[in-house]
């Protein structure tokens, strides 16, 4: 690992710790300077998992809004 690569990895860790992992990967950067296939594979899997959990939670809330309120009033 070169010193530049070390600095890039250190910056990723700093962003994860200080910006939060979600903001770090979804909004801050795609970290193109990191030339590591496994890192990008894992980063993309994390982003996809976050999208799935958001969808799941939103769907649960919507199903309550559609069905839960009616059941409570009956």
Domain that holds residue 62: 3-73
Residue 71: pLDDT over 60: no
**How far is Cα of residue 6 from the mean position of the Cα atoms in its chain?**
23
User: How much is the average pLDDT of 5-30?
Assistant: 95
User: pLDDT over 90 for what percent of the chain?
Assistant: 82
User: How much is the average pLDDT of 29-52?
Assistant: 96
Number of domains the chain is built from = 1
Rounded-to-integer distance, Cα 65 and Cα 45, Å: 30
């Amino acid at each position: 690992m070169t010193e530049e690569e070390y600095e890039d990895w250190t910056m990723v860790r700093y962003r994860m710790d200080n910006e939060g992992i979600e903001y770090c990967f979804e909004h801050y950067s795609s970290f193109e300077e990191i030339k590591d296939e496994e890192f990008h594979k894992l980063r993309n899997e994390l982003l996809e998992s976050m999208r799935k959990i958001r969808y799941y939670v939103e769907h649960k809330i919507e199903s309550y809004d559609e069905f839960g309120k009616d059941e409570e009033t009956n």
